[in-house]
Every structure is written in structure tokens, then in C-alpha cells.
Amino acid sequence: MSNGPLPIRVDPRKLAEREVRIAGDAALNSMPNLCQALVDKEGAVRVELQFAVDEQRIRTITGHAEGHVRMTCQRCLEPVKVAVEADFNLGIAASEEAAKQLPRSYDPLIVEGEEIELLPVIEEELILSLPHDAYHDDCSIETSFGDAEAVAEDTDKPNPFSVLAQLKANNK
């Protein structure tokens, strides 16, 4: 099943009344604050959100986001692939004041107007879910590409003698 991108703007109260479920991909390059912590902007995070109204008539957004990003390994400074995962349990409030009335089980999402941009909400949770420092399990077995799959696929490593020959050639 392929997923399109998430909608940019939504009316969360309307979606909650209709109990809409949204699934889609959030491209990393559309989340600039998240990208500041990353090595590159390639890829996307898969997002599923369920809008609903709970028994106290609170509009809620619950769901999940997961994917992989690349951060800098703090030991060898090469890229390392990091799994990110965030859970959403948001209660919609019209103001800071109203947010204080929400049950503590919800993270408040303040929506003053009708519509909000969805990506910044997802981005914020993803930033919170990032590890403070990222490390390879074992830097010595990771390639300069920084992920284990690349090691397995990389069968045509240059022969050390031809590298040496090239170094000599370059030094002439």
C-alpha cells in the first residue's frame, strides 16, 4: 500500500467530529527544525493519526509516526541510521487557559483558529523523540555510508593494492 503525503492544513475539530483517520508520509525535507539535527533530509516518516471526540467531548488526535533518519555518530562522526518513533495523544484546546483544563493524560494542542498546519505538530513530537546522542553499535563495522545494509551490499570494495597504486600515481 503506497501512501501519499499528509495534508498540509487541516481543520482538526471538523476531522474529530467525523472521526477521520489520516495516514501518509511526512517528508523529512518539509520539517526544517527536525532536519537541523540530521545529517540529510532524505526520506520520510510514516504517520497515522486518528481524530476523535472522547466521552468528555474533548477533540483528540491520537496516533503514531515512525521512520528512519540519519544523525552524526558522536564517536566516529560518520552518519548513523536512527529509528525514530513518536506517539501522539493530543487534546485540542482553544487557548492556553482551556489547555489547563484538559485531563493530564492529553498533551495540549492549542488551536485558536479553525485550521492548523499538521507537519509542525508531527515535527515537534519527532524532535522530542530523537536520541540526545547517536552512536553506531560498533563504529568499526559500519561503512562511511553509516548503515549496515550498505555494508552487505558493498561487495566491490577497491583492492588495497590498487588504492596504494593510485596514491602513488597521485603523488607524482
The three cell numbers of residue 4 are 501519499
Can you tell me which of 75, 83, 87, 117 binds Zn ion, judged by CB under 5 A?
75
CB of 148 to Zn ion, least distance (A): 12
Strands 79-93 and 44-53: unpaired
- Where does this chain touch Zn ion (CB under 5 A) — which range of 39-47, 74-82, 109-117, 121-129? 74-82
Convert the chain into a string of H (helix), E (strand) and C (coil): CCCCECCCEECHHHHHHCCCEEEEEEEHHHCHHHHCCCCCCCCEEEEEEEEEECCCCCEEEEEEEEEEEEEEECCCCCEEEEEEEEEEEEEEECCHHHHHCCCCCCEEEECCCCCEEHHHHHHHHHHHHCCCCECCCCHHHCCCCCCHHHHHHCCCCCCHHHHHHHHHHHHC
- Where does this chain touch Zn ion (CB under 5 A) — which range of 9-17, 21-29, 76-84, 91-99? 76-84
The answer to whether residue 76 forms part of the interface with Zn ion (CB under 5 A) is: yes
Of 59 and 136, which CB lies nearer to Zn ion in the complex structure?
Answer: 136
Taking CB under 5 A as the rule, which mask of x and - marks residues 132-171 in contact with Zn ion?
----x--x--------------------------------
- Where does this chain touch Zn ion (CB under 5 A) — which range of 4-12, 23-31, 32-40, 68-76? 68-76
The answer to whether residue 18 forms part of the interface with Zn ion (CB under 5 A) is: no
Can you tell me which of 31, 34, 39, 73 binds Zn ion, judged by CB under 5 A?
73
Residues that bind Zn ion (CB under 5 A): 73, 75-76, 136, 139
